[in-house]
């Protein structure tokens, strides 16, 4: 009489191991994808938040500015210098991945980060734009999986008394 032995055959074991491996590989792939999407989303959200903070601070500075000037440092890097009421100087420097605001007499620095790289330029008011300064920002944004360049224009009104000074600085 043959003895019946309980257990699984080798084929069954191979099928289970194969199926489990596939499931684990799929889960690992999904987790990697989700983590990558989440990291890109966090980076984008931080860049947007910093752009909004920069816009708010730039408008506040312009609102009390008596003059604005585009200057160059020794390395020919362009920066913007705002003279606030009371003579306080505020400068904006553009780096490869950040814009830095520096207050002269208080040695105060504030950075706005754009991890994908930032380019920024400023347009001083002319006769058509009255007293509105335009700050143009462009940075890489990973919307919908692909990298895109997003462009923002931030407009800021300067006080009425600043007009003459702006025109003078722009013609220097």
Residues 6-35 that bind another protein (CB under 8 A): 12, 15-16, 19-20, 22-23, 26-27, 30, 33-34
Write the DSSP symbol of residue 15. Answer: H
Contacts of 126 (CB under 8 A, 6+ apart): none
The window from 65-73, 94-102, 111-119, 150-158 that contacts another protein (CB under 8 A) reads 150-158
Pair 132, 122: CB distance under 8 Å: no
Number of shown-chain residues binding another protein (CB under 8 A): 39
Going residue by residue from 114 to 143, which x/- string records binding to another protein, judged by CB under 8 A? ----------------xxx--------x-x
Report residue 159: phi and psi, to 5°: -65, 160
Element (H, E) at 18: helix 10-63
110: contact with another protein by CB under 8 A: no
The window from 47-55, 77-85, 93-101, 110-118 that contacts another protein (CB under 8 A) reads 47-55
Q: Assign 26 to helix, strand or coil.
A: helix
Is 49 or 71 the residue whose CB approaches another protein more closely?
Answer: 49
What ranges make up the beta strands (E) of the chain?
A: 65-72, 78-84, 89-94, 98-103, 108-113, 118-123, 132-141, 148-157
107: contact with another protein by CB under 8 A: no
Is 2 or 160 the residue whose CB approaches another protein more closely?
Answer: 160
Alpha-carbon separation of residue 167 from 78, 154, 170 (angstroms): 18, 20, 5
The residues that touch another protein, with contacts defined as CB under 8 A, are 12, 15-16, 19-20, 22-23, 26-27, 30, 33-34, 37-38, 41, 44-45, 48, 51-52, 55, 59, 130-132, 141, 143-145, 150-158, 160
């Amino acid at each position: 009489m043959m003895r019946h032995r309980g257990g699984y055959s080798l084929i069954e074991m191979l099928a289970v191991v194969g199926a489990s491996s596939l499931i684990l590989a799929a889960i690992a792939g999904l987790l990697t994808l989700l983590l990558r999407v989440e990291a890109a989303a966090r980076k984008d959200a931080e860049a947007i938040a910093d752009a909004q903070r920069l816009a708010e601070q730039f408008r506040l500075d312009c609102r009390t500015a008596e003059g604005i000037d585009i200057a160059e440092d020794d390395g020919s890097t362009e920066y913007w210098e705002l003279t606030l009421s009371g003579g306080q100087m505020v400068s904006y420097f553009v780096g490869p991945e950040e814009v830095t605001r520096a207050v002269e007499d208080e040695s105060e620095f504030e950075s706005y980060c754009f991890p994908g790289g930032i380019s920024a330029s400023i347009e001083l008011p002319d006769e058509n734009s009255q007293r509105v300064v335009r700050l143009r920002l462009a940075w890489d944004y990973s919307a919908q999986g692909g990298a895109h360049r997003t462009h923002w224009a931030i407009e800021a009104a300067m006080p009425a008394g600043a007009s003459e000074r702006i025109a003078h600085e722009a013609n220097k």
